[in-house]
């Protein structure tokens, strides 16, 4: 009898394994759908900024927090939830992430104030951080065949790149035909469909509770990154707590991050494998990812506002104008592997960064006039160059890492991606606001309180100009457009300088033949 029960149990287990293998491609579809939602939400608001500003009237610093709090929360929590998923089960974190993401999307769509939208966007970041690391881990669990796993990971990477690229287009369509809150509300019905499918399809994962989990490290990394971002923004404005206090917050954030790094080096089971940074190729690759995304996402936000508020395009028309950047980014991701094989790692990475910097230089000559051909050429160069550099940098990171530490390297790369997006918006947005405000001179006929509101941002100036009317309104909007173009030029100069310095570092620090992880394995483990 016992033998019969054991045999039937074995048959059921075998059937479960067969069913999981048969469902593996549907699992991939579901995980890529989940990743798409997360990636799109990082950039979907870029086109919605003018409509959102008119509705909620946020200050400059509140607007920056609305846009980049998502990435700044996702970045430090990726590693935290990734390790917790390994410890307590990835499937349950994906399901819980769906619930958090759906509720936060609903709250964001109907936010009644800038502060409420900032909080709900932060919760969106929590939900995204719960889902994203588990998607990659479950793919590795479900696809046991190495060739199939490579295909699945390639699809996953393409979806991650495409999601961020098509975010502005989706935002443009929704804002044009509905209202700004629709960019969040659309997530809710999609997640209602995805949740029962996830319960049915996602396999349970084995819990790994042998290694201790360090909660203090998670707190240090999260508070450190948010304090640095808050200090940077407030130092530029000084509206909320004053510049002296904002510098103190920034310094406190740096101290927390230093404490975090030192703690990771002492722990037997660190939350983040910072020892990998002792490898030159790895450190250079991570810096390349950070600064490439920093420039791309930060400038994408500024250019989306330029198209709508300076050139006067509708949200949908602006999204269509940005379409060449998205298409070129996808093409760059697909072509990068072939370029890498032909010209090598160092030349591909340096060339991608240099192409991006070169494509940004014509922006310095742009004013308030239309220039569709040059705009398209610049967008193509930016999108293609960044994606080529990112794939080559990712190859550098993985080539510099022993196979036994590939998981830690992937976590650092994902964190650099999200951190670059958050800091790009924070830093370049702050530079834009610092230059824009003093560049906007007082317009006759516009009261000083309204001028102070107009100096908050170009979107705020457009709102004030509409309320003012008469002849002063158009004059204010014209002056604000010129001031914004001046600020845009400043951010482009900073971005070009960063990209050129990163390209130079890559050319000097990455060996022509690429790094060899096998030679560095013993040294990294020391």
On whether the CB atoms of residues 79 and 221 are closer than 8 A, the answer is yes
Residue 11 reports pLDDT greater than 50 = no
**Quick check: 279 and 526 in contact, CB under 8 A?**
no
Straight-line distance from the first to the last Cα atom of the chain, in angstroms, rounded to the nearest whole number: 54
Give exposure, 417-426, as e/b (b: 16+ Cβ within 10 Å): bbbbbbbbbb
| 510 vs 474: CA distance, rounded Å | 53
pLDDT confidence of residue 241: 57
**Which spans in 143-212 are helix H?**
146-177, 182-185, 187-201
Mean local confidence (pLDDT), 226-247: 68
**Integer Cα distance of 312 and 324 in angstroms:** 19
Q: Which residue bears the tokens 């960019």?
A: 183
**Ordered DSSP codes for 344-397:** -HHHHHHHHHHHHHHHHGGGGG--SS--HHHHHHHHHHHHHHHHHHHHHHHHHH
Paired tokens of 402: 């022993």
Helix (H) or strand (E) holding 139: helix 114-142
> Is the sign of the CA dihedral 114, 119, 124, 125 positive or negative?
positive
Band of the pLDDT at 155, cuts 50, 70, 90? low
Q: CA 454, CA 437: separation in Å to the nearest integer?
A: 8
Per residue in 330-353, pLDDT tens?
777 777 777 777 777 778 888 888
Q: Please answer whether residues 44 and 183 qualify as being in contact, where contact means their C-beta atoms are separated by less than 8 angstroms.
A: yes
Greater model confidence, 5 or 387: 387
pLDDT band at 8 (very low <50, low <70, confident <90, very high): very low
Is the confidence at residue 5, as pLDDT, over 70?
no
Give me 498's structure tokens: 């960063």
Count the alpha carbons within 13 Å of 455 in the hemisphere toward its beta carbon: 18
Instruction: Please give the residue that has the higher pLDDT: either 148 or 241.
Output: 148
Tokens 């976590």, located at residue = 411
- For residue 513, the 8-state DSSP code is T
Where does residue 430 rank: exposed (0-12), middle (13-18), buried (19+ CB within 10 A)?
buried
Place of tokens 């310094």: 251
pLDDT per position as a tens digit, 174-208:
776 777 777 787 778 878 887 888 777 777 766 55
Residue 356 pLDDT more than 80? yes
How many secondary structure helices (H) and strands (E) does the chain include? 21, 0
Is residue 350 within 8 Å of residue 514, measured between CB atoms?
A: no
* DSSP string across 212-239: ---HHHHHHHHHHHHHHHHHHHHHHH-S
| pTM exceeds cut of 0.85 | no
516 vs 91, more confident: 91
In angstroms, the CA 330 to CA 400 distance is 25
Q: Which residue has the higher pLDDT, 468 or 70?
A: 70
């Amino acid at each position: 009898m016992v033998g019969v029960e054991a045999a039937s149990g074995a048959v059921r287990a075998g059937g479960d394994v067969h069913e999981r293998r048969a469902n593996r491609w549907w699992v991939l579809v579901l995980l890529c759908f989940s990743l798409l939602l997360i990636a799109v939400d990082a950039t979907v608001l870029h086109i919605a900024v003018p409509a959102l500003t008119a509705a909620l009237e946020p200050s400059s610093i509140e607007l920056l927090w609305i846009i980049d709090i998502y990435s700044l929360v996702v970045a430090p929590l990726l590693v935290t939830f990734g390790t917790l998923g390994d410890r307590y089960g990835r499937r349950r974190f994906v399901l819980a992430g769906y619930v958090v993401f759906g509720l936060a999307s609903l709250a964001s769509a109907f936010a009644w104030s800038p502060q409420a939208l900032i909080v709900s966007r932060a919760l969106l970041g929590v939900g995204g951080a719960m889902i994203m690391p588990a998607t990659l881990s479950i793919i590795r669990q479900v696809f046991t065949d190495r060739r199939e796993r490579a295909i699945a990971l390639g699809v996953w990477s393409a979806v991650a790149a495409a999601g961020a690229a098509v975010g502005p287009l989706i935002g443009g369509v929704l804002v044009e035909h509905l209202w700004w809150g629709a960019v969040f509300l659309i997530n809710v019905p999609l997640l209602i469909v995805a949740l029962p499918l996830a319960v049915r399809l996602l396999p349970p994962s084995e819990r790994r509770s042998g290694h201790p989990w360090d909660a203090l490290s998670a707190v240090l990394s999260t508070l450190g990154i948010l304090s640095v971002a808050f200090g940077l923004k407030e130092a530029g404005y000084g509206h909320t707590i004053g510049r002296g206090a904002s510098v103190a917050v920034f310094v406190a954030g740096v101290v927390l991050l230093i404490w975090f790094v030192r703690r990771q080096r002492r722990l037997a089971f660190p939350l983040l494998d910072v020892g990998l940074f002792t490898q030159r190729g790895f450190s250079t690759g991570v810096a390349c990812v950070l600064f490439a995304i920093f420039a791309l996402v930060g400038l994408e936000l500024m250019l989306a506002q330029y198209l709508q508020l300076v050139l006067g395009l509708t949200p949908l028309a602006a999204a269509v104008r940005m379409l060449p950047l998205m298409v070129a980014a996808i093409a760059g991701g697909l072509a990068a592997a072939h370029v890498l094989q032909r010209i090598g790692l160092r030349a591909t990475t340096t060339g991608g960064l240099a192409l991006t910097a070169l494509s940004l230089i014509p922006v310095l000559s742009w004013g308030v006039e239309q220039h569709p051909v040059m705009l398209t050429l610049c967008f193509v160069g930016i999108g293609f160059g960044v994606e080529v550099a990112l794939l080559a940098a990712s190859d550098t990171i993985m080539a510099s890492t022993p196979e036994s530490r590939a998981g830690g390297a992937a976590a650092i790369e994902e964190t650099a991606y999200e951190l670059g997006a958050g800091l790009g918006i924070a830093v370049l947005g702050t530079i834009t606001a610092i230059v824009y405000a003093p560049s906007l001179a007082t317009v006759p006929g516009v009261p000083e309180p309204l001028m102070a509101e107009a100096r908050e941002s170009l979107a705020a100036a457009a709102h004030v100009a509409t309320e003012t009317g008469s002849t002063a309104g158009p004059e204010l909007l014209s002056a604000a457009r010129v001031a914004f173009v001046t600020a845009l030029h400043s951010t482009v100069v900073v971005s070009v300088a960063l990209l050129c310095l990163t390209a130079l570092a890559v050319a000097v620090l990455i060996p022509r033949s690429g790094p060899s992880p096998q030679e560095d394995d013993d040294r990294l483990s020391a």
